[in-house]
Every structure is written in C-alpha cells, then in structure tokens.
C-alpha cells in the first residue's frame, strides 16, 4: 500500500517533507469532472486546493493518501449522482466520515474522489416507543446520544472517538468501544441501511423490523469500510439507558491476577458493561501527563463497569470486589455517583492521549485473542518488545480479548517506524496463531490488508473477492482496502495459521 505511485501516490509519515511533495502534486481530475461534480453539489462543496487535498489525504492511522478532489454532498441523492460520475469516468472513490479511522480505511491510497459525508447530519426519526432511530451517515455519535438521553435511550456503540466520529464511520468500521463486551459491536445495533452502490444506484437493505428475510446484506455492508458502496442513512436499534451504573477500580501487583479476575467474573455468569486493563507502561504514561494518583509500581489497573437495574448492581459489585480481593488486589475502589465514576475512569480516558505524549506517533495494533490466551500472548509480547526494542502501551478491552496495543515510534526516524511495523506484524501473527484476529474494532483498512492472509485461506479470500465483484465490478469503491490482491503465480505468501489449527 505504502509504495503505490502515480495518481494515488502514498506518502510515508516518516518521509521528510512529505507534505511539500503532496502540495506540489498536480491535479489529475480534469475540469470537466470538476464541473460535473460542482453541478451536483454546488461549487463550495468541491475542494481542489492543495491544502484541502492534503487535509483529506489522511485519517488517524499511519497511512496517507492523496485525493484528486474532495466532494461534500448534502443528500443521498447527491451522493448517488457523485458516485455515478465516478463510475462513468472510472474514478476511484473513498467515503469519509470524521476521519478518526485507525487503520487507513478513509485514506485515498489510490487517489480519486474523497466523498465526505459530514453534511449528512439529519436525524430523520426518533421512535422512542419502538426503540428505533433513523439517522444520516454524518451524524456525530455523541450528538445522537445527547438527543436520545431525554428519552431515556442510548445507541449502544460508544467508541472512544464518539465525540467526533460519525455513525456512518462507526457502521463502515463496525466500531466497538469499551461497552461492546455486554452490548456487542455496531453490527448488533443496525437494522437497516440506505446504500449508494458503486453503480450509483440507491438500495435499501433491512429495515425497521428485526430479522428481515432474504440475504443479510446489512451484515455484509456493516464493517465493509466503503468497499461495497456508501452507506448514507441507517436505521438504528436503541436501548434503554441503564438505570444505574457502578464502576470498580482495582490495582494488581501482577498482571496475570487482573486477567484471572476477568475470567472469574465471566465464569460466574456476570456480564459487566466494561472490563478494561491498563498495564504498567500505560499507567506510567498517564501519571506522567495527567496524574490521577495511581501507584507506579503496580502491574495492572482493572476497571469493571456494571450497569443494570439498581437492586442487581449492589450484589454484583460485592461479588466483583470479593473476586478482586481473593486475587490479591492491592486496592479496590467502588464509584457509585457520576462524579466518583468519572474519577475512576479519568486515567483510562486520558490513557491514549498520555501515551501519545510519550512519542510523536503511535501505531495502533488492534489484535484480539480468546480470553484464555491473554496470559500466554502477553508473555510473547514482552519478548517482542525486547527483540524489536520498541515500547508498547497496553490498553486491553480485556473482556472481549482485545489487546489494543499502542506501539510508540518516532515519525522522523524511518528505522524506528520499521521496527514498530515489524513488532506489530509479529503481534498479529501471535494473535492469529492463538485463535484471535487482526482487528477488534478498527477495521482492516489499508494498514492490515496483508494480514488478512493470516486469517483466511486463498479460497476463503476468493469468496470475499467474488462478493466484492458483484457490487463493485469496476473496483472503484475504496480500492486497496480490506482484501489483499490475489496471489500472483510464484509469489510467496504467509501461511494462514488459523487454517492449520
């Protein structure tokens, strides 16, 4: 991905003055195309200035692409007409929400047209009684939550980026969040979609009811990262806000014990809303930047969040505290009021930012493993850290086995970036071998395309490519993402450890 040249030239973040090169690039979308697009969305909504193109060239990953033009349509109809223009002229197109993507899904790695959906911000319906909402793709996650709260309702997916990220982006990436242990990822909360197919046709899949008959094209679209079409409107399943929430913070001298608490809680039949672990590296980062009084000599901080009806929480919290004590927690605190809870979460919430302060750049590795494999994978990760000389901050969504490692690197040092990449690749390999996956919630994007071969055989990937070819025969929809290219004759590729298991 990173070496593509030509119209879709990709710049490495660690190349010196890559942005100067980007700014110097000549426009490859001709005037005719620009006029056609301006006619659809209005002149101010077609961006071709080098500074704008630069801005829309990257997301929050290490991948940076270079669009030929950025279009900001204002309706499903306009999106469909823009895509028609792309289809007629064989221009690749890349949908974009807020650009918080952590795997390069919204970076235009092969150039073409970035279709920004940030103007599609209408809330079309809140049907509180049937627990449904219909919204456009550009609605910001937290804006929706704020509107739902007076109805006593929520949209469960709450990615850490929710202040900024859009529902359309959440759907494209099948986003998770700290509470997806209990409530599931985005897919579990989407009932229907309006999709602009790569042909420009507008289709509806699913609807307001549960379990629409026929093939589940909603499931196919959710998490497909814009490679099968653009989702412009969605019917969301809502859920009542929990009546009460309690948060428990426990400190452990040994990381294994924190992991054991997680297993025990699940084994006892409790299903907390969140189970999060921070390791020593992350605690140190937090205390260095946003001190919250955590001791630096513990190996793990475990956060347990319980929600539900009032009477049940009291007893569940007691059980969780008892399990923590049995496993030698050094300190256990229970937060009941919103203020107390916020205090317990503050370290966790600032962890990503604090880790980012330790280094100018972070390579986010988002691999998962079965819960029972966490301890053994952790030992292997310590070896990987040593062998490659990298620093890795670990911020587990422990309940669902999401390791979520943040690998620090210096973007001005190509060698350091190479080391981070090598370590990341080894982590993916270890996790795939342990029966896990290469992404817990951030998608495959452009960053992890090559690692799909760790999970799927050539034939399994071919079945997915066939599916793509049905919807996108010209291969214009977010090209280069999600699926690796077919293996060329004679090419050596990784075996897929899962297949041998």
Residues 381-400 binding a second copy (CB under 8 A) are: 400
The SS3 call for residue 153 is strand
Find the binding residues for a second copy in span 324-353 (CB under 8 A).
none
Stretch that binds a second copy, among 164-172, 288-296, 307-315, 345-353 (CB under 8 A): 307-315
Sign of CA dihedral 27, 33, 39, 40: negative
Q: What is the Cα gyration radius of the chain?
A: 23
439 binds a second copy (CB under 8 A): yes
* Closer CB to a second copy, 150 or 269, in the complex: 269
**Residues that contact a second copy, how many (by CB under 8 A):** 91
What would the DSSP string read from start to end of 232-263?
EEEEEE-EEPPSEEEEEEEEESSHHHHHHHHH
Do 404 and 397 form a contact (C-beta atoms < 8 A)? yes
- Site for a second copy (CB under 8 A): which residue of 291, 370, 485, 486? 370
- Site for a second copy (CB under 8 A): which residue of 401, 411, 479, 480? 401
- Site for a second copy (CB under 8 A): which residue of 142, 245, 266, 321? 266
Tell me the backbone φ, ψ of residue 450, rounded to 5 degrees: -70, -20
Q: How far is the CB of 240 from a second copy (least distance, A)?
A: 3
Q: How far is the CB of 103 from a second copy (least distance, A)?
A: 9
- How many of the other CB atoms lie within 10 Å of CB of 82? 26
In this structure, the strands spanning 392-397 and 300-308 are unpaired
* Closer CB to a second copy, 121 or 457, in the complex: 457
Find the binding residues for a second copy in span 469-498 (CB under 8 A).
469-471, 482-483, 498
Q: How far is the CB of 283 from a second copy (least distance, A)?
A: 27
Angle at 71 between CA 70 and CA 73, to 5 degrees: 160
3-state SS, 227-240, equals CCCEEEEEEEECEE
- Site for a second copy (CB under 8 A): which residue of 7, 54, 217, 250? 217
Which of 82, 78, 81, 104 lies closest to 93, judged by CA?
82
Stretch that binds a second copy, among 14-22, 61-69, 135-143, 433-441 (CB under 8 A): 433-441
Stretch that binds a second copy, among 105-113, 295-303, 409-417, 435-443 (CB under 8 A): 435-443
- Site for a second copy (CB under 8 A): which residue of 71, 83, 301, 444? 444
Q: How far is the CB of 117 from a second copy (least distance, A)?
A: 21
Instruction: Give the CA count within 13 Å in the CB-facing half-sphere of 486.
Output: 8
309 binds a second copy (CB under 8 A): yes
Q: Determine whether 84 is exposed, middle or buried from the number of CB atoms within 10 Å of its CB (0-12, 13-18, 19+).
A: middle
* Closer CB to a second copy, 19 or 456, in the complex: 456
Q: Where are the beta strands (DSSP E) in 24-149?
A: 46-47, 69-71, 93-96, 113-116, 123-127, 132-136
What region does 103 belong to: left with phi over 0, alpha with psi -120 to 50, or beta?
alpha
* Closer CB to a second copy, 174 or 406, in the complex: 174
- Site for a second copy (CB under 8 A): which residue of 95, 104, 226, 443? 443
Q: How far is the CB of 267 from a second copy (least distance, A)?
A: 7
Find the binding residues for a second copy in span 229-258 (CB under 8 A).
240-243
d(CA 496, CA 450) in angstroms, rounded, equals 11
Q: How far is the CB of 241 from a second copy (least distance, A)?
A: 7
What region does 390 belong to: left with phi over 0, alpha with psi -120 to 50, or beta?
beta
The SS3 call for residue 173 is helix
- Site for a second copy (CB under 8 A): which residue of 82, 114, 137, 220? 220
* Closer CB to a second copy, 150 or 214, in the complex: 214
Q: How far is the CB of 17 from a second copy (least distance, A)?
A: 34
- Site for a second copy (CB under 8 A): which residue of 5, 26, 31, 215? 215
376 binds a second copy (CB under 8 A): no
Q: How far is the CB of 297 from a second copy (least distance, A)?
A: 30
Find the binding residues for a second copy in span 90-129 (CB under 8 A).
127-129
Tell me the backbone φ, ψ of residue 25, rounded to 5 degrees: -65, 145
- 166-190 b/e (C-beta count within 10 Å ≥ 16 → b): bbbbbbbbbbbbbbbbbbebbbebb
Q: What is the dihedral of CA 402, 451, 449, 456, to 10 degrees?
A: -100
Do 272 and 334 form a contact (C-beta atoms < 8 A)? no
Stretch that binds a second copy, among 36-44, 85-93, 106-114, 438-446 (CB under 8 A): 438-446
* Closer CB to a second copy, 34 or 371, in the complex: 371
- Which residues, in sequence order, are bridge partners of residue 58? 64
Q: How far is the CB of 288 from a second copy (least distance, A)?
A: 33
Find the binding residues for a second copy in span 155-214 (CB under 8 A).
174, 176, 184-185, 187-188, 197, 201, 203-205, 207-214
């Amino acid at each position: 991905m990173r070496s593509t040249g030509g119209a879709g030239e990709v710049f490495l973040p660690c190349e010196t003055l890559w942005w100067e090169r980007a700014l110097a690039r000549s426009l490859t979308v001709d005037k005719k195309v620009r006029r056609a697009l301006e006619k659809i969305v209005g002149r101010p909504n077609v961006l071709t200035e080098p500074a704008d193109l630069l801005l829309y060239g990257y997301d929050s990953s290490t991948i940076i692409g270079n669009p030929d033009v950025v279009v900001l349509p204002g309706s499903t109809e306009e999106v469909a007409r823009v895509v028609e223009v792309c289809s007629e002229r064989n221009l690749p197109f890349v949908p974009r929400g807020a650009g918080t993507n952590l795997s390069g899904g919204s970076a235009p790695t092969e150039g073409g047209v970035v279709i920004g959906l940030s103007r599609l911000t209408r809330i079309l319906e809140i049907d509180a009684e049937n627990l449904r909402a219909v919204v456009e793709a550009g609605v910001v996650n937290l804006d929706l939550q704020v509107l739902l709260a007076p109805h006593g309702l929520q949209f469960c997916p709450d990615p850490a980026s929710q202040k900024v990220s859009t529902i359309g982006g959440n759907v494209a990436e099948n986003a998770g969040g700290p509470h997806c242990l209990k409530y599931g990822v985005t897919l579990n909360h989407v009932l229907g979609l309006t999709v602009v197919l790569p042909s420009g046709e507008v289709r509806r899949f699913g609807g307001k009811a549960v379990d629409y008959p026929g093939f589940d094209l909603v499931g196919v679209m959710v998490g497909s990262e814009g490679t099968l079409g653009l989702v412009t409107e969605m019917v969301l399943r809502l859920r009542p806000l929990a009546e009460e929430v309690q948060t428990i913070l426990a400190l452990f001298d040994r990381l294994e014990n924190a992991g054991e608490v997680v297993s025990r809680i699940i084994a006892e039949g409790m299903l907390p809303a969140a189970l999060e672990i921070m390791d020593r590296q992350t605690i140190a980062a937090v205390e260095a930047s946003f001190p919250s009084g955590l001791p630096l000599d513990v190996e793990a901080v475990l956060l347990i969040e319980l929600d539900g009806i009032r009477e049940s929480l009291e007893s569940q919290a007691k059980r969780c505290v008892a399990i923590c004590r049995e496993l030698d927690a050094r300190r256990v605190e229970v937060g009941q009021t919103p203020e107390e809870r916020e205090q317990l979460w503050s370290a966790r919430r600032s962890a990503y930012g604090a880790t980012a302060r330790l280094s100018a750049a972070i390579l986010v590795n988002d691999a998962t493993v079965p819960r029972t494999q966490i301890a053994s994978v952790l030992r292997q990760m310590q070896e990987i850290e040593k062998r490659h000389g990298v620093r890795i901050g670990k911020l587990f969504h422990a309940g669902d086995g999401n390791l979520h490692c943040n690998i620090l690197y210096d973007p001005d040092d190509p060698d350091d970036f190479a080391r981070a990449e090598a370590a990341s690749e080894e982590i993916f390999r270890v996790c795939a071998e342990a029966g896990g996956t290469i992404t817990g919630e951030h998608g495959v994007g452009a960053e992890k395309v090559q690692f799909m071969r760790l999970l799927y055989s050539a034939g399994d990937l071919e079945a997915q490519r066939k599916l793509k070819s049905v919807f996108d025969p010209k291969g214009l929809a977010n090209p280069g993402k999600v699926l690796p290219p077919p293996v060329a004759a004679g090419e050596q590729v990784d075996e897929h450890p899962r297949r041998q298991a």
